[in-house]
């Protein structure tokens, strides 16, 4: 009898977990064929001229006022310090430059300093494309050489030491913190790494406080929130790398929350040449209407610094949203865009991201391009203007992902 009751305990716990809507989502797998309604409302498409001269501006204003807050176009960036390491690293494949940059809001006079680490392929010309990375972890973990300075503040190190660091990389894959740098160098790309929490901390309390201070000149109702602030950091970095470092092309790469920021950066800065957005989810590539996974209210409650409070109010009436995420993706046209996903990452809603890409393709057709070519979520086509990647597994960056990223970049930049 005792063993009978012991056996009932895990059954009871499984039933309890299954009764939770969040757990039910986490136990699902994404479909391989798109399911659900067409993305709505439809894009305001008539002619290329109207799109470029009027529609793009109106869509950006809607995104600012509904989801992300004001795009801070007046921010400045200057170099404070620079140091070139003398010997190649990562099996002799990369030359490393360490820099300190200062981002400043002239309207408030507030500034933040942050580290930039650049890895360049050895013996490559200076104008190779550069992958800009905003990361969960400090640069000490992303480009792990002893000379990289640790950031100021109380941040998880992600360097493999300590329980939290080990748990983080176990669940999300070791490439979430340290990319395969030698592989990237062999493909002929430079890598520029920043830790965005040095600019706007990725915590509810610290993030809100930093935003209120840095953007105190803005009305509170539409004040720049963290996803938009990190997008502006991508944009400033792109301009700096092209004008001061001699790179010909910039690619905004991000995973999860920083994939959201990479997409917003591409939408608001047409000089960014491509975006690799891996598992961007709610507020990224995935549709907000008719969605599976993370809700607008739950994401805003857990991360109040990411989006305008107004965004969460549409949870119970999503039909009232004046636009959906296919509008954001459409602003990338005609530039190449990679949308990464995983079958068990239904919380990020791959199906919603695919349908958003389908709808955004209409903007690419204005430019005489196709956009998304795939008919299903699994027919990855790296040569397409919008490439959709769906692998087995869950949320994170694993060994299968970087070869797919690089195959996409090679198809468009080689």
Domain count of the chain?
1
Q: What is the mean pLDDT of residues 118-127?
A: 89
Q: What is the mean pLDDT of residues 31-58?
A: 96
- Least confident range from 144-148, 163-167, 207-211, 374-378: namely 163-167
Q: What is the pLDDT of residue 116?
A: 98
Measure the CA–CA gap between 61 and 70, rounded to whole angstroms: 8
Question: Is residue 13 included in any domain, yes or no?
Answer: no
17 versus 313: the higher-pLDDT residue is 313
pLDDT tens string 333-343? 999 999 999 99
pLDDT grade, residue 123 (50/70/90)?
Answer: confident
- Is the pTM higher than 0.75? yes
pLDDT for 217 equals 97
Q: Give 381: exposed, middle or buried? Use CB within 10 Å, 0-12, 13-18, 19+.
A: middle
Residue closest to 224 by CA, chosen among 297, 306, 283, 104: 306
Q: Is residue 224 part of a domain?
A: yes
CB under 8 Å to 170, separation ≥6 — which residues?
none
Domain membership flag for residue 2: no
Over residues 190-215, the mean pLDDT reads 97
CATH of the domain at 373: 3.40.50.1820
Q: Is residue 22 part of a domain?
A: no
Whether pLDDT at 3 is above 90: no
User: Could you tell me where the DSSP H helices lie in 86-126?
Assistant: none
Q: Mean pLDDT over residues 261-265, rounded? A: 98
pLDDT score of 161 more than 90 = no
pLDDT of residue 2: 44
Contacts of 19 (CB under 8 A, 6+ apart): none
DSSP, collapsed to helix, strand or coil, labels residue 274 as: strand
Tell me the residue range of the domain where 293 lies: 31-413
Confidence of residue 127 (pLDDT cuts 50, 70, 90): confident
Look over the chain and give the mean of its residue pLDDT values, rounded to a whole number. Answer: 91
Flag whether pLDDT at 25 surpasses 90. Answer: no
User: Does the structure show a pLDDT above 90 at 158?
Assistant: no
């Amino acid at each position: 009898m005792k063993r009978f009751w012991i056996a009932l305990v895990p059954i009871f716990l499984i039933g309890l977990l299954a009764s939770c809507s969040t757990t039910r989502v986490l136990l699902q797998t994404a479909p391989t064929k798109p399911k659900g309604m067409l993305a709505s409302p439809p894009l305001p498409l008539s002619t290329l001229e109207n799109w470029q001269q009027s529609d793009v501006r109106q869509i950006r204003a809607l995104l600012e006022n509904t989801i992300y807050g004001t795009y801070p176009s007046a921010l400045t960036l200057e170099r404070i310090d620079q140091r070139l390491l003398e010997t190649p690293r990562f099996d002799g494949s990369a030359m490393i430059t360490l820099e300190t940059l200062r981002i400043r809001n002239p309207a408030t006079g507030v500034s933040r300093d942050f580290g930039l680490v650049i890895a360049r392929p050895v013996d490559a010309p200076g104008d190779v494309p550069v992958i800009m990375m905003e990361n969960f972890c400090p640069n000490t973990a992303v480009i792990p050489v002893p000379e990289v300075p640790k950031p100021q503040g109380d941040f998880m190190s992600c360097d493999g030491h300590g329980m939290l660091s080990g748990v983080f990389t176990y669940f999300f894959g070791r490439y979430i913190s340290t990319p395969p740098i030698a592989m990237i160098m062999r493909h002929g790309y430079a890598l520029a790494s920043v830790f965005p929490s040095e600019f706007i901390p990725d915590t509810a309390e610290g993030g809100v406080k930093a935003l209120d201070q840095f953007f105190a000149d803005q009305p509170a109702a539409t004040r720049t929130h963290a996803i938009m602030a990190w997008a502006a950091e991508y944009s400033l970095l792109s301009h700096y790398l092209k004008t001061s470092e001699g790179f010909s092309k910039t690619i905004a790469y991000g995973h999860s929350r920083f994939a959201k920021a990479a997409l917003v950066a591409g939408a608001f800065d047409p000089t960014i040449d491509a975006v690799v957005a891996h598992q961007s989810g709610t507020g990224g590539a995935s549709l907000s209407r008719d969605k599976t996974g993370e809700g607008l209210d739950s994401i805003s409650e857990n991360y109040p610094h990411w989006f305008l409070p107004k965004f969460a109010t549409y949870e119970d009436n999503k039909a009232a949203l004046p636009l959906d995420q296919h509008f954001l993706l459409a602003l990338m046209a005609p530039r190449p865009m990679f949308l990464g996903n995983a079958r068990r990452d239904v919380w990020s809603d791959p199906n919603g991201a695919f349908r958003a890409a389908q709808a955004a393709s209409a903007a690419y057709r204005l430019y005489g391009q196709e956009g998304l070519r795939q008919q299903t979520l699994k027919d990855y086509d790296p040569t397409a203007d919008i490439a959709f990647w769906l692998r087995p597994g869950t949320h994170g960056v694993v060994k299968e992902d970087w070869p797919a990223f690089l195959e996409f970049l090679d198809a468009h930049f080689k």
